[in-house]
């Protein structure tokens, strides 16, 4: 099972994903993709860690998420696709095609583990088009990987101001 959780920054995506994971298992896995480069971000990571209790197993892997030891029966909160995309964007020399190839290959391998994946990501393309070429290329990568994950997902949830709006599967209308 693949569940995608998307929305804006600070919208409540991670907390929603964590609650969902705990509703599915008593011992969830947290797969963190962030790389910490400054004190402010370290404080954000510390808040996330403090929110999770001892029942969580945490793996930190900025690139090779398919090499993390998860398998059948595990419920994994993958937090987050956006930071993972950032890591691959720069690891690939800012080449969108190379980064996307790496990411889709590794996501497919992670999906074959049989774990339930709850993937947190950001909708960064809802605003205006950046004047910065580097930012536009990253937005292309983020949009492409989000579309890839959404297409494979069994469920997609959009979190808006802490409120869950389920967008896939859509409720069918009766004629």
pLDDT at 42: 84
Residue 54, CA distances (Å) to 30, 47, 119, 168 in order = 12, 14, 21, 32
Owner of token pair 């890839």 = 148
Give, for all 175 residues of the chain, the pLDDT tens digit: 999 999 988 899 999 999 999 999 999 999 999 888 888 878 887 887 888 889 999 999 999 999 999 999 999 999 999 999 999 999 999 999 999 999 999 999 999 999 999 999 999 877 777 788 999 999 999 999 999 999 999 999 999 999 999 999 966 555 5
157 as an active site residue: the answer is no
pLDDT at 109: 97
Q: Nearest CA to 114 among 146, 69, 151? A: 69
Q: Rounded to the nearest 10 degrees, how much is the dihedral formed by the CA atoms of 12, 126, 155, 32?
A: -50
Catalytic residue (choose from 8, 15, 25, 48): 48
Residue 61, CA distances (Å) to 4, 74, 145 in order = 19, 17, 18
pLDDT at 31: 97
Specify the CATH superfamily of domain 2-168.
P-loop containing nucleotide triphosphate hydrolases (3.40.50.300)
Contact, 77 vs 18, CB < 8 A? yes
The reply to whether the predicted model has a pTM over 0.85 is yes
pLDDT at 44: 81
Neighbours of 80 (CB within 10 A): 22
pLDDT at 126: 77
Domains of the chain by residue range: 2-168
């Amino acid at each position: 099972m693949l569940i995608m959780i998307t929305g804006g920054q600070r919208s409540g995506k991670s907390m929603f994903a964590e609650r969902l994971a705990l509703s599915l298992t008593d011992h969830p896995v947290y797969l963190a993709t962030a790389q910490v480069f400054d004190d402010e971000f370290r404080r954000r990571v510390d808040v996330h860690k403090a929110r999770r209790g001892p029942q969580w197993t945490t793996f930190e892997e900025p690139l090779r998420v398919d090499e993390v030891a998860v398998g059948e029966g595990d419920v994994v909160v993958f937090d987050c696709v956006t930071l993972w995309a950032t890591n691959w964007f720069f690891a690939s020399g800012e080449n969108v095609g190379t980064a996307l190839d790496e990411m889709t290959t590794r996501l497919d391998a992670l999906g074959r583990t049989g774990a339930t994946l709850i993937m947190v990501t950001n909708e960064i393309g809802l605003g205006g088009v950046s004047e910065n070429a580097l930012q536009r290329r990253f937005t292309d990568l983020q949009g492409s990987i989000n579309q890839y994950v959404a297409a494979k997902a069994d469920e997609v949830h959009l979190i808006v101001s802490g409120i869950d709006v389920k967008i896939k599967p859509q409720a069918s209308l009766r004629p």
